[in-house]
Amino acid sequence: MRPQESFIGQPIRSLQTMLRAIAEEDPGYRQIVPDGIYGPETVSAVTVFQKRHGLPATGITDQATWEAVAARYEPARISRAHAHPLHILLNPGQILRRGERHPHLYLVQGMLTALAEAYGSIPSPAATGILDDATADALAAFQQLSRLPMTGHLDKVTWKHLALQYPLAAEVLISIG
């Protein structure tokens, strides 16, 4: 288990990094600074971890402790990281047009709704999975604001602009809560 490329060949720093991530997720663990030195702070953090996981509380990182730390680190790492990006698949040259049904349209309609709520400059379509008139109108308004050709269709260029704008709109909505 190697948390980062820069820690290859640095097992103590790797252990400390994993323990720190675990402690940031759960205050019941002891926070340490990854310094690469297996000193008293690391011994204490390992001991706390061992106690909480029913391992012999020796402060020594044996194989069982290492594996338990690595197993606990993975969920902590995932929950601390940004959400995994979503890449939709459109075939080369594929364009979703008015009247078409496609699962990606649910995502697009949700994104357009968030943009509409955050900025009020485009209409909010219903989530139908169909590129209906309301969705086409919202796409065309979004395309106009993004200085794209106002087709009301979903193509890769429009998706790219939606994908870039959506996180900003979501941040606005979160901040006004």
Min mean pLDDT across 41-45, 82-86, 163-167 is at 82-86
- Separation of alpha carbons 117 and 169, rounded Å: 8
Question: What is the arithmetic mean of pLDDT over 134-144?
Answer: 97
Model confidence at 123, pLDDT cuts 50, 70, 90, reads very high
Of the candidates 32, 40, 27, 30, which has an alpha carbon nearest to the alpha carbon of residue 14? 32
Question: What is the arithmetic mean of pLDDT over 39-58?
Answer: 96
- Separation of alpha carbons 144 and 34, rounded Å: 50
Question: What is the arithmetic mean of pLDDT over 17-46?
Answer: 93
pLDDT at res. 169 = 86
Of the candidates 71, 59, 2, 58, which has an alpha carbon nearest to the alpha carbon of residue 32? 59
pLDDT at res. 1 = 43
pLDDT at res. 9 = 66
Question: What is the arithmetic mean of pLDDT over 57-75?
Answer: 95
| CA atoms lying within 13 Å on the CB side of residue 5 | 0
Model confidence at 132, pLDDT cuts 50, 70, 90, reads very high
Alpha carbon distances (Å) from 1 to 15, 68, 137, 144: 9, 11, 50, 48
pLDDT at res. 95 = 94
pLDDT at res. 120 = 87
Whether the per-residue pLDDT at 3 is higher than 50: the answer is no
Three-state secondary structure call for residue 52: helix
Q: Which residue has the higher pLDDT, 25 or 112?
A: 112
Question: What is the arithmetic mean of pLDDT over 126-152?
Answer: 96
